[in-house]
């Protein structure tokens, strides 16, 4: 049974479901409801089949290749490889797709009559199929082809709500950045091809021992920047906070939760699977970049008052955390510490999975709030827990998970990352120790700031009183949308409770990725379901923490309800308001909440505070508006200067395009002579 | 021996006529020499017909004769007489420098780096070298001359050189394809002549550098 599922036919069925889903949607012209259902029923079916397929592959310990489906394009053969790493990523992708698609059935109703639902359905299914192709391809050209399709499909989804010019602008930025990244990745593959004379991953891996270190270093840098741009590492992240919020919310969830992980997938595949052995500085670079990304990502999130941009910045933070684990694994590999390498890699993989889950949940919840209120501005929310109680609870679960609060999954993967970093501090030379220590401090700082940020996000959105007419009129979203979110919330809890077994399995998986079958495992699971690291180095019991986390509030409620307040009479009366009406203007805004933290990190954020009084210069102004702004240093100092340089060069090179046909023909003549001479 | 002389003469006609286009001052002579160059190509194609005896090749020969040797020069001469632009516009580089560049191009194709192209069939190396030089000299004609007529003749000369190169490189193609290319050239001639007429009517010259307003 399992053998028939885990086979080339199973893979073809997987892609076919999304193919039928995409093409079929466009054929159902004019019927928005049918298009919506068709697109999502097929994506749900595809996700379920993907889960069965990948889970069967993992359970049966089966891996297979699909080779030899040659095409009419040179070098392009439809070669796929299903191993444990790709199976894990299929599961990560399909779980998010499953719940996002359920949510999408309700969300897409808001597009009826405004946008073409057929186009949406086509690109949505194409996007999912392309992501699956990225994590299953075993040929460089096929991978690049799938990567490009994934980028283009997601671009069309980003600009889907094209009536808002900001979305179109965000899509343009995304298109430029993603293609710049693709150019670098393509160059990396061309260099590998030049050495191995093949785009096949296995052939490249076999040729790596004879590859010069200089070439390997160049490939590493190109791939790291290329995949890092897609993953959203700082300073290549500028597209991410613009593009992710622009897409429909469940697409944002997939982009932020899953798509950026394809960059991480390829880093693992290349750096720990193909280019081995690797030098020490590669891993150290990843830890340093990860440390910077996780701290700056969360700091930028703190200053945001667009709820989806806030979440997008948290993706940068979490990619930083994943890089801490991945970088640690690479360092341990270079230091010949395979046991610790597996621990770090398990931390990176587990956080990848967890982030996909809670970030998808948060984007879906943010999308629900934005849909119900018609705005993404947190300052306009407030008091939504009364009108959207279920969404509020689900958002809270996501917020707790991302803030690494037990009993949810985020806590366990961050705890594991801490363990691996602490091991790093205890091993290696002084440079390695300091880099790991930096990572440790960054992770601790990011954890604290993330908690502050989500206190702000949850408090400003759901607590106190509505601060706008839109918030006042908000209503709970449809059952489809709530079901999608609820599924992910349950998953956050399940991944947390079952974390010990998952971590152990991920460690075993790391053995196969890095071809280290003899590497010992540092973790063990006791009969009391406690995960232990080494010999009494660290231990944690997820079931115990879950019971404590659930039982404590229940116990407090029970004691207060039946013992403390048993003989007290509860009376309701208006709150003393000092003789003035309590209005939403008296509430602390999200900007005000984050102001003190923003000012503490002023040198990093380059934040500024300005006041606007009306009427200006009056002794008794009718209103004063305080605005905290930050300077986008990346746009100003990196991309702005790059733009200026390109502009100057363009003006210079424009002289070549002087409108004289003779000059153009002369270029052709020169190019012809050079091409003939070089081609020969 | 006769065959070799025949080849030498025909290829020399093609090569020398491509150089003559750079030197000629009168447009009518350019048109007539193009007819002569095309006649050389027709002769080579006719030789090919005699060798293979395929009726389709004969059709190609006759069509080439009609389009390139008769129709094209006739159309050009009628156009020149109608608009009275008897003299070619001065080129970008003067004659002496132009000849030096032609010499450079001709020398360049004899270099070793081009030998894989010119020795596709080693016995035909000289002809292939001359044909390749003709191609590049024709492109240089288009680049150097300002008047539209010379540029059109340059394109047609380039096409003739490619045909000669293909014949001596043994790159035979189907006669149907040859006929298709000829039809293409035939249509293109009408378009090009219409373009020159319109250009002369609008700006009173066939100097393409005067079409400034077409710039970005």
> Does any CB of chain A come closer than 8 Å to the CB of residue B47?
no
Residues of B in contact with A670 (CB under 8 A): none
Touching A: B residues 61-120, CB under 8 Å: 92, 108, 113-117
Per-residue pLDDT at B215: 53
What tokens were used for A357? 């889950």
Distance from CA of A678 to the nearest CA of B (A): 8
Q: Which of B116, B151, B214 sits opposite A680 (nearest CB)?
A: B116
Facing A666 at nearest CB: one of B116, B143, B212? B143
> In angstroms, rounded to a whole number, what is the distance separating the alpha carbons of residues A31 and A112?
9
The answer on pLDDT for A680 being more than 60 is no
DSSP annotation string for A320-381: HHHHHHHHHHHHHHHTT-HHHHHHHHHHHHHHHHHHHHHHHHHHHHHHHHHHHHS--BGGG-
Residue A208 pLDDT greater than 60, yes or no: yes
A397: exposed, middle or buried (Cβ count in 10 Å: 0-12, 13-18, 19+): buried
- Complex ipTM > 0.85: no
A chain contacts of residue B116, beta-carbon cutoff 8 Å = 680
Helix, strand, coil percent values for chain A (each to nearest 5): 70, 5, 20
Q: Which residue has the tokens 């250009």?
A: B199
Q: Of the given ranges (A52-61, A69-78, B70-79, B111-120), which has the lowest mean pLDDT? A: A69-78
pLDDT at A70 > cutoff 70: no
What does the domain layout of chain A look like in residue ranges?
293-561, 633-679
**Which residues on chain A are in Cβ contact (under 8 Å) with B141?**
none
Extents of the domains making up chain B: 2-214
pLDDT on residue A127: 96
- Compute, in degrees rounded to 10, the torsion defined by CA atoms A399, A402, A404, A405: 20
The closest CB to that of A659, out of B113, B142, B214, belongs to B214
Residue B162 forms contact with A (CB below 8 Å)? no
Q: Out of B114, B115, B146, whose CB is closest to A662? A: B146
To the nearest whole percent, how much of chain A has pLDDT over 70?
98
Question: Is A629 a residue whose pLDDT tops 80?
Answer: no
Q: What is the pLDDT at residue B4?
A: 84
Check A665 against B142: CB less than 8 A apart.
yes
- Please compute, for residue B23, the number of CA atoms within 13 A of its CA located in the half-sphere on the CB side: 10
Q: For residue A534, is pLDDT > 70?
A: yes
Taking an 8 Å cut-off on Cβ atoms, the answer to whether B209 and A658 are in contact is no
Average pLDDT over residues A190-199: 91
Q: Which residue has the higher pLDDT, A198 or A536?
A: A198
Beta-bridged to residue A70, according to DSSP, are A77
Q: With bands split at pLDDT 50, 70 and 90, how would you rate the model's confidence at A432?
A: very high
Nearest to A676 among B114, B151, B212 (CB): B114
Residue in A659, A665, A677 nearest the CB of B139: A665
The pLDDT value recorded for residue A181 is 93
Token pair listed for A291:
């440390």
Say what percent of chain A tops pLDDT 90.
61
What confidence tens digit (pLDDT) does each residue in A548-603 have? 988 999 999 999 888 887 777 778 887 777 777 777 777 888 888 888 888 888 88
Q: Report helix, strand or coil for A610.
A: strand
- Checking phi first, is residue B47 left (phi over 0); if not, alpha (psi -120 to 50) or beta? alpha
* Test the B interface: residue of A656, A665, A670 with most B CBs within 10 Å: A665
Q: Which chain A residues touch B145 with a CB distance below 8 Å? A: 662
Q: What is the structure's pLDDT at A2? A: 72
The tens-digit pLDDT sequence of chain B (216 residues) is: 778 889 999 999 999 999 999 998 888 999 999 999 999 999 999 998 898 888 888 999 999 999 999 999 999 999 888 888 878 778 888 888 999 999 999 999 998 888 888 888 899 999 999 999 999 999 999 999 988 889 899 999 999 999 999 989 888 777 888 888 888 888 988 888 888 888 888 878 888 877 766 554
Our CA-based measurement puts residue A648 at a distance from the nearest CA of chain B, in whole angstroms, of 18
Q: What was the pLDDT predicted at A618?
A: 67
* Contact call for B209 and A657, based on CB within 8 A: no
Which residues from chain B sit within 8 angstroms of residue A662, using beta carbons? 92, 142-146, 208-209
For the stretch A227-248, pLDDT in tens is 999 999 988 888 888 888 889 9
Contact A115, A161 (CB under 8 A): yes
Phi and psi of A81, rounded to 5°?
Answer: -140, 120
Higher pLDDT: A113 or A346? It is A346
Measured between CB atoms, does B136 come within 8 Å of chain A?
yes
User: Which pLDDT score is estimated for B201?
Assistant: 82
B198 touches chain A (CB under 8 A): no
- Are A56 and A5 in contact, with CB atoms under 8 Å apart? yes
| Reported confidence tier of residue A69, pLDDT bands at 50, 70, 90 | low
Choose from B108, B142, B195, B216 for mutation: most chain A CBs within 10 A.
B142
Rounded average pLDDT over A117-127: 95
| pLDDT, average across residues A489-509 | 93
pLDDT for residue A679 = 67
* CA pair distance B14, A450, nearest whole angstrom: 79
* Residue positions counted in chain A: 680
Quick one: pLDDT at residue A631? Answer: 76
């Amino acid at each position: 049974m399992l053998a028939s599922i885990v086979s080339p036919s199973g893979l073809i069925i997987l892609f076919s479901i999304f193919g039928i889903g995409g093409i079929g949607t466009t054929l159902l012209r004019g019927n928005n409801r049918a298009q919506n259902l068709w697109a999502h029923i097929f994506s749900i079916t595809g996700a379920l089949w993907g889960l069965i397929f990948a889970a069967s592959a993992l359970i049966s310990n089966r891996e297979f290749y699909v080779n030899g489906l040659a095409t009419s394009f040179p070098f392009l053969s439809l070669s796929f490889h299903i191993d444990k790493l790709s199976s894990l990523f299929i599961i990560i992708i399909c779980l998010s797709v499953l719940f996002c698609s359920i949510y999408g059935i309700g969300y897409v109703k808001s597009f009826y009559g405004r946008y073409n639902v057929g186009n949406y359905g086509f690109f949505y299914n194409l996007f999912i199929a392309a992501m699956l192709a990225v994590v299953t391809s075993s040929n460089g050209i096929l991978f690049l082809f799938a990567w490009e399709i994934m980028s283009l499909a997601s671009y069309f989804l980003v600009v889907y709500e094209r009536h808002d010019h900001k979305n179109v602008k965000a899509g343009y930025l995304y298109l430029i950045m993603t293609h710049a990244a693709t150019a670098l990745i393509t160059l990396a593959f061309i260099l590998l091809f030049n050495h191995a004379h093949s785009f096949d991953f296995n052939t490249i891996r076999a040729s790596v021992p004879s590859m010069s270190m200089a070439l390997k270093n160049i490939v590493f840098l190109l791939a790291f920047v290329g995949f890092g741009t897609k993953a959203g590492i700082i300073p290549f992240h500028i597209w991410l906070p613009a593009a992710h919020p622009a897409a429909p919310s469940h697409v944002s969830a997939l982009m932020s939760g899953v798509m950026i992980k394809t960059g991480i997938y390829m880093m693992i595949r290349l750096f720990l699977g193909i280019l081995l052995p690797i030098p020490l500085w590669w891993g150290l670079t990843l830890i340093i970049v990860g440390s910077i990304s996780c701290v700056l990502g969360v700091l930028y999130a703190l200053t945001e008052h667009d709820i989806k941009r806030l979440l997008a910045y948290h993706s940068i933070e979490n990619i930083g955390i994943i890089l801490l684990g991945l970088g640690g694994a690479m360092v341990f590999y270079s230091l010949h510490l395979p046991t610790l390498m597996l621990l770090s890699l398990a931390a990176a993989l587990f956080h990848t999975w967890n982030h996909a889950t809670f970030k998808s949940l948060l984007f879906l919840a943010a999308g629900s709030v934005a849909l119900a209120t018609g705005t993404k501005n947190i300052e306009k929310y407030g008091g939504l827990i009364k009108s959207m109680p279920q969404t509020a609870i689900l958002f809270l679960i996501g917020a707790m998970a991302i803030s690494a609060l037990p009993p949810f999954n985020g806590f366990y993967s961050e705890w594991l990352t801490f363990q691996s970093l602490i091991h790093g501090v205890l091993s290696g030379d002084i440079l390695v120790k300091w880099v790991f220590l930096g990572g440790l401090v960054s992770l601790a700082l990011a954890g604290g700031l993330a908690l502050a940020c989500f206190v702000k996000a949850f408090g400003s959105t759901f607590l106190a009183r509505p601060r706008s007419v839109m918030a006042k009129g908000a209503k709970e979203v449809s059952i489809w949308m709530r079901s999608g979110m609820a599924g992910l919330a349950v998953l956050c809890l399940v991944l947390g409770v079952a974390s010990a077994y998952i971590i152990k399995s991920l460690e075993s998986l790391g053995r196969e990725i890095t071809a280290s079958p003899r590497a010992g495992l540092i973790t063990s699971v006791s009969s009391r379901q406690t995960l232990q690291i080494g010999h009494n180095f660290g231990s944690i019991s997820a079931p115990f923490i879950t019971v404590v986390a659930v039982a404590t509030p229940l116990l407090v409620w029970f004691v207060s309800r039946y013992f403390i307040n048993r003989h007290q009479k509860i009376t309701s009366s208006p709150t003393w308001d000092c003789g003035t009406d309590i209005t939403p203007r008296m509430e602390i805004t999200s900007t005000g909440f984050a102001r003190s933290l923003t000012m503490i990190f002023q040198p990093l954020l380059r934040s500024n505070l300005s006041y606007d009084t009306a009427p200006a210069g009056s002794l008794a102004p009718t209103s004063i508006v305080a605005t905290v702004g930050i300077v986008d240093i990346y746009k100003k100092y990196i991309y702005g200067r790059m733009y200026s340089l390109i502009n100057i060069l363009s003006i210079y090179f424009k002289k070549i395009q002087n409108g004289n046909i003779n000059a153009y023909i002369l270029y052709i003549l020169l190019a012809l002579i050079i091409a003939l001479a070089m081609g020969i | 021996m006769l065959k070799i002389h025949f080849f030498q003469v025909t290829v020399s006609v093609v090569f020398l006529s491509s150089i003559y286009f750079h030197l000629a001052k009168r447009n009518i002579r350019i048109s007539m020499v193009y007819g002569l160059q095309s006649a050389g190509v027709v002769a080579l194609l006719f030789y090919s017909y005699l060798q293979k005896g395929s009726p389709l090749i004969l059709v190609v020969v006759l069509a080439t004769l009609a389009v390139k040797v008769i129709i094209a020069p006739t159309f050009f001469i009628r156009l020149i007489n109608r608009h009275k632009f008897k003299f070619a516009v001065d080129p970008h580089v003067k004659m002496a420098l132009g000849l030096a560049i032609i010499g450079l191009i001709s020398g360049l194709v004899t270099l070793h780096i081009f030998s894989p192209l010119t020795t596709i069939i080693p016995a035909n190396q000289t002809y292939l070298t001359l044909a390749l030089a003709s191609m590049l000299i024709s492109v240089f004609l288009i680049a150097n001359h300002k008047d539209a007529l010379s540029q059109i003749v340059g394109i047609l000369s380039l096409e003739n050189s490619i045909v000669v190169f293909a014949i001596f490189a043994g790159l035979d193609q189907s006669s149907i394809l040859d006929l298709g290319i000829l039809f293409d050239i035939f249509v293109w001639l009408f378009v090009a002549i219409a373009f020159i007429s319109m250009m002369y009517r609008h700006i009173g010259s066939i100097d393409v550098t005067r079409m400034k307003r077409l710039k970005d």
